[in-house]
Every structure is written in C-alpha cells, then in structure tokens.
Structure 1
Amino acid sequence: MLAEARAVLEFNTSLLLSPLLLRAPRGDGHPVLALPGFLASDISMAPLRRYLKQLGYDCYGWKMGRNLGGVASRRNALKKLLTDIYDSTGRKVSIVGWSLGGIYARDLALQLPDMVRSVITLASPFANDVRATNATRLYEALSGETVEANSELTRAIAGDLPVPVTSIYSRTDGIVNWRTSLLKPSDTAENIEVYLASHIGIGVNAAALWAVADRLAQPEGQFRPFDRSGPFAIAYGRGEQAQSGPAS
C-alpha cells in the first residue's frame, strides 16, 4: 500500500507523454460514462474524461459526489443516469469504471444491455474472492452493505456480460488483489495487464489510458483483441486467463 504513492509519478508521466497519447485512435463521438472508485469523485476521473474528449468522445461524469459505496443502493440512480444519457444522445453508452466504479459498470451492462456499447474496468475487484481487497471493511462500514449481502448479484456481476468488456489491471495494485480483476476471456472479453501500475494511479497511467482509448475506438458491435505492439508495448503483460477459487 505504501507504494501507492507512485500514482503521482504515473500522472506526471502521462502529462509528459500527452503528445504521444493523443496519437491514439480517434473516437466516433459516442457517449462515454466515467464512474469513479470508492471514496473518489468525478474529480478523479477528470484527466481521463479530458483525454477522451480530446479524442472526440462525448464524456459524462456521474455527478453524485463522493462514491461512498453501495452497489445495491446506487442501482436505481445509476440506471436513471445511463437512461438519461442514452435518451439524450440517441446512442449506446460506453462505460469506464475505476475500481468500485467498474463493478457499477458491469451491473449496468447486465441490467440495461441495449443501452451499453462496451464496458472497461480499471482495477475493479469483481471476481474470485471479492473480499480480498484492503478496502472491504471500510466499504462495508460506509455503505452499510456487506460484500456477501447479495451473493446472487455478486455472482452475476462476476459472470459473462452481454456486451464487449475489457478488464485492465496490475499485479502491483496495492489496494485490490489483481486476481479479483480477472474476467473469463471470450470472443468479446479480455484482460489487459499494465506493468507497475498502482491502484490509485491506474486511471491516469499512460499505458492504461492508451488501452482505454484503443478499446473505445472499436466500431460498435465489433470486438478485436488488444494489440500490445503499440507505443506502450513494454508496459503490457502477455495476457492472463481467469482463475477459479479464492484469491490469495
């Protein structure tokens, strides 16, 4: 956890590499909803939203203040938010969720698949032993919900999604056990490992930002595996298969 302070370095590196990052594939203008992690607010997602706007996307924050948790209690508000964006733009919405925000994103895709174009999660603990994080007790204390309160919902969120999905994670995550971020790869689902990224900094990490932009640029209804030979090739792992059983 002490190594999470390197998030500042990740952010500064992205600023220095911004000319390179802006060479990522351009967007087609479709809406992108960015959901913050636990204890964070829209401010934490501002660099990512700004970057995606520069690439041509129509970006939205969640506008619910600080994320104090509550997967079940936030469901109706998030469904309304997604529906409002979909109705106002007339287009399917891609959702990028950081940590807990990624769990919300996966849940939205299960509930409203006809409104969701794709889901990208950043260091989100949705699979295997979801209690294997350093924030579980605080989440339960602040949200009033226990992780095991709705095992059926938890299993559904961890399962296959009806839309294209990408999980971006790092083995050096100091908050979330990286094994809880592994989804089952398929023709429309994949894991992307970013070397040396922190939990607090993965949303501003240059290699992660490039991967997000690349995934969002895919034509609607199409999915191709992430090409790790781009300008940040050295920063990506070779790919990880989902594992069963408790994380350790």
Structure 2
Amino acid sequence: MDGGADDAQLPPFWRLLNEAAAVVPLGLSPLREAVDCVGEGKGWPVMVLPGFTTDDLSTALLRRSLDRAGFHAHGWDQGFNLGLRPGLLEALEARIAAIAGQEGRKVILLGWSLGGIFARALAHRIPDLVAQVVTLGSPFSGNRHSNRAWKLYNLINDHTVDEIPEDPEFVSKPPVPTIAVWSAHDGIVSKRAARGLPEESDLAVELDVTHFGYGGTADGVRQVVELLAANLPKDPIR
C-alpha cells in the first residue's frame, strides 16, 4: 500500500461513472436473495449503519447475507441518513443498548460511508456496548473534503462538514477493535480518507469493490461478510 499525497485527492471522475453499475442493484437490494459466503458469524449481532442519503432498505441485501452466514444483523432504524441531527447519536446509543440487551452480547457496528463515521463516534461514546467497529469506505480521516458528497451534505444540513455540532470524535481510533475497509476502485471517497493512518485503526483492509458495491453487488457483499467472519471479535460475552 502506498502512502503518497495523491491518496487524499478525490477519485478520478471516470471512477465515479463506474459507480453507476451498482446503483440499480442497490435499489433492488430488498428484493434480492441473500449471498452465500464462506465463514461463520457465530451469532454475533451486527448493527449496519447506512450511507449518506440512504436508509435500511439499502443495506437489506447485506443484512440478509450476514444472517445467512450466521450473524444476527440489525438495521439502524433511524430512517434516511442525512447527516448529524439533534438526538441522533443518543437514539443510536439506545438502539445499540436494546440490541445488546436482546442478544446478551456486545454489538459489532458495520458502518457504510457516513454510517461508518457515526459508528466510530458511537464506539467512543459507549465502548462497553460495542464489540468491534468496521467501516466501509468511510471518509473519517484527513481532509473532510476528500469525498464527492461533502457539498451535498453542506447543502442539506444546517452545518458544514467542517463545523459538525458537538464535534463527535471519530478520527482517533475508538477504544475497541477497529477495521477500516477501503478500495482503490471507490469513486466517491479517497483512498487516504477511508484507509486512514496506521494509528487510526487496528487494521486497514483493501477490497476490490466500488463505493456502492460494498452492499449493492453480490461480489461486494460477499467480500464484506467474509471479511467480518474472518475477523470476529475475541471476547464473545458482554
């Protein structure tokens, strides 16, 4: 893996065009059959946090495939992810506490894009309920403009990406096992922003997938589920 300054630049425009191939499959996610994956989730509860401007419908295929692999997958149950709004983190804390109580175990947080930023922030706030954080193409590190969504975020919110209310901590490594997943084929988020620096996660893993493909294509879902199954948390009991 190279660490050149070019990693922080926006992905080239032609990579953005490649993202279009996953848009339709992503939209059909609730109707698609679960993907068969290698590995066993051993009953670990996973809360999947969707990306910017999407909701639990966008993660339906990913959650269904996690269930088939032996995980217990849960949606975030907060509607569309349009950015940080008052009370959102508190509502997610309550959601995680409810899942942990139901399952009798800490919860793995699997955050896609902006959802991964929230996952890292939540792990800082309630580490006693979080077993592990895994981010998928999340621009948590470095320049907050190193992604193609920041202008839209600024447009539809009453704050900017540079002035997030209450400034939740998400850049430094959470006090739980943390995996940053990134892709050289991502057309939305720069490699540097999604991979982060070595001290910002315990493990950085490159997958061969587009940004929308993490949960929108069968191959992307397979890679994600198998990554989780191969890197289960070590302490199973809450």
* Fold similarity call, TM over 0.5: yes
State the SS of the aligned residue for 1:158: coil
Instruction: Output the CA distance in 2 between the equivalents of 1:162 and 1:185.
Output: 15
Instruction: Output the CA distance in 2 between the equivalents of 1:22 and 1:46.
Output: 15
Mark the CA change 1:176 to 1:73 in structure 2 (over 3 Å): closer, same or farther. farther
Cα contact 2:42–2:70 (8 A) shared by 1: yes
Corresponding position of 2:3: none
Higher relative contact order (CA 8 A, sep 6+): 2
Q: Structure 2: any 5+ residue segments left out of the alignment?
A: 1-15, 27-32
Q: TM-score, normalised by structure 2?
A: 0.79
Does 1:201 find its partner at 2:203?
Answer: no
Corresponding position of 1:241: none
Instruction: Output the CA distance in 2 between the equivalents of 1:187 and 1:101.
Output: 17
Counting only pairs closer than 5 Å after superposition, residues 132-211 of structure 1 correspond to structure 2 as 132-150=146-164, 153=167, 156-185=169-198, 189-195=202-208, 197-206=209-218, 208-211=220-223
Cα contact 1:122–1:203 (8 A) shared by 2: no
Q: Structure 1: which amino acid aligns with 2:128?
A: D
Instruction: Output the CA distance in 1 between the equivalents of 2:17 and 2:200.
Output: 37
Mark the CA change 1:213 to 1:202 in structure 2 (over 3 Å): closer, same or farther. closer
Q: Structure 1: which amino acid aligns with 2:43?
A: G
Percent identity of equivalent pairs: 37
Bigger shift: 177-186 or 117-126?
177-186
RMSD across aligned C-alpha pairs, in angstroms? 2.7
Corresponding position of 2:100: 86
Cα contact 2:44–2:71 (8 A) shared by 1: yes
Q: TM-score, normalised by structure 1?
A: 0.76
State the SS of the aligned residue for 1:45: helix
Cα contact 1:47–1:204 (8 A) shared by 2: yes
Cα contact 2:140–2:194 (8 A) shared by 1: yes
Deviation per CA, 1:139-162, whole angstroms, max 9, x where unpaired?
1222322212259846x3111121
Q: Structure 1: any 5+ residue segments left out of the alignment?
A: 12-17, 223-248
Cα contact 2:138–2:193 (8 A) shared by 1: yes
Cα contact 2:23–2:216 (8 A) shared by 1: no
